[in-house]
Amino acid sequence: MAINVTRSSMPPFEEYCEEIRELWDSHWLTNMGAKHQQLEADLKAYLGCEELVLFTNGHLALENVIEAFNLHGEIITTPFTFASTTHAVVRCGCTPVFCDIDPVTYTLDPEKLEALITEKTVAILPVHVYGNLCDVEKIGEIAARHHLPVIYDAAHSFGVFRKGVSSACFGDAAMFSFHATKVFNTIEGGAVCCHSEEIRRRLCDLKNFGIHDEENVPYVGGNAKMNEFCAAMGICNLRHLQDEIEKRRLVAERYDANLGKIPGLQLNAQQEETTPNYAYYPVVFDGFHLTRDEVFAKLAAEGIFPRKYFYPLTSAFACYKGTPGFNPRNTPIAAHMAECVLTLPMYADLPLETVDRICEIILK
């Protein structure tokens, strides 16, 4: 059987059935019903954030938060990310300005940030890549000096805490994805966490056609509401989150034991004072006797499918061909990482013997 890069977490079947039983009594399937309210409360308690708004997916959460901050201009971000981050900026009518990344955390390099700020800059949109937290302190300092909001793409960092503070709390807002492939899923889903009650209210209106109440429509909103079945899935999955992360830790440690201290392999560095979520297991093949693409092909031949994540850079996408500023050469470290990195299979139920087999194939 094929081993894919990920496998979705699911609660016991009976637990989910029990959770959705009430929906057959209420016949209330969406529009901020009981499950939606419950999940919002559960997530706020877990993440320790002031405000939280659920969405139908992470991408629309990101588009909606860009709109909620009323941003029009340049947004400094990273090309070493999933398509969603860059597309959200462009689809909201803003211009992404690409900052290079730190070669250890793969996140936006604050040392290169300030030089990109101009009078057109309206926000900073860094990504907590693989669940590695950005240098939130330095980014925060620079943003404050220039009076710019910081919106984090925290899609990878659900369950990551620094000094006990969750990744939901950094910056002016943080977006999570609860897609099936993420550490915590609601099948499809997402959320925005923020500190401002004003932004929360705008997000609630924006995700429901801009309708504030029956007779008052202050925004040209779309539809990005989470339905009750997805919320119920989230309520169940959240109960099992710590177990899932613990199992992922064992997988990561098994990989570390097999692949540590091998010349030409860069493993993901543990961050200080940070509780990780083991969302991904990236390996950089740089100076190894095989290239990343050769390792990928070798594993694929054995029915194992890791992912070239992130490759290509979003600044190299065909849809942006010829767009000024969309040039991987402007971000050489990100361009290099995109050529060398492979994320290996990582999920809670991945058998440790399979981890050994994957490592054997890579090393032999």
Residues that bind ligand PLP in the complex, under the rule CB under 6 A: 57-59, 81-82, 84-85, 127, 153, 155-156, 177, 179, 190
Nearer to ligand PLP (CB atom), residue 158 or residue 288? 158
Answer for the pair 135, 127: CB distance below 8 angstroms, yes or no: no
Residues paired with residue 195 on neighbouring β-strands, in sequence order: none
Nearer to ligand PLP (CB atom), residue 155 or residue 362? 155
- Rounded to the nearest whole angstrom, what is the least distance from the CB of residue 22 to ligand PLP in the complex? 26
Nearer to ligand PLP (CB atom), residue 180 or residue 363? 180
Length of the chain in terms of residues written: 364
Nearer to ligand PLP (CB atom), residue 230 or residue 359? 230
Between CA 277 and CA 285 the distance in angstroms is 23
Nearer to ligand PLP (CB atom), residue 88 or residue 113? 88
Nearer to ligand PLP (CB atom), residue 128 or residue 202? 128
Between CA 321 and CA 85 the distance in angstroms is 17
- Rounded to the nearest whole angstrom, what is the least distance from the CB of residue 289 to ligand PLP in the complex? 31
Question: Which strand ranges, in their side-by-side order, compose the sheet holding 51-55?
Answer: 51-55, 190-194, 173-177, 151-153
Q: Is 265 helix (H, G, I), strand (E, B) or coil?
A: strand
- Rounded to the nearest whole angstrom, what is the least distance from the CB of residue 190 to ligand PLP in the complex? 5
Answer for the pair 305, 77: CB distance below 8 angstroms, yes or no: no
Q: Are strands 281-285 and 341-344 parallel, antiparallel or unpaired?
A: antiparallel
The four Cα atoms 170, 174, 179, 185 give a dihedral, to 10 degrees, of: 50
Nearer to ligand PLP (CB atom), residue 11 or residue 190? 190
Tell me the residue number closest to ligand PLP, measured at CB: 58
Give the amino acid at 65: V
Helix or strand holding residue 86 (H, E): helix 83-91
- Rounded to the nearest whole angstrom, what is the least distance from the CB of residue 189 to ligand PLP in the complex? 7
Could you tell me the two tokens for 149?
Answer: 């909001």
- Rounded to the nearest whole angstrom, what is the least distance from the CB of residue 272 to ligand PLP in the complex? 23
- Rounded to the nearest whole angstrom, what is the least distance from the CB of residue 59 to ligand PLP in the complex? 3
Answer for the pair 194, 173: CB distance below 8 angstroms, yes or no: yes
- Rounded to the nearest whole angstrom, what is the least distance from the CB of residue 47 to ligand PLP in the complex? 17
Give the amino acid at 342: L
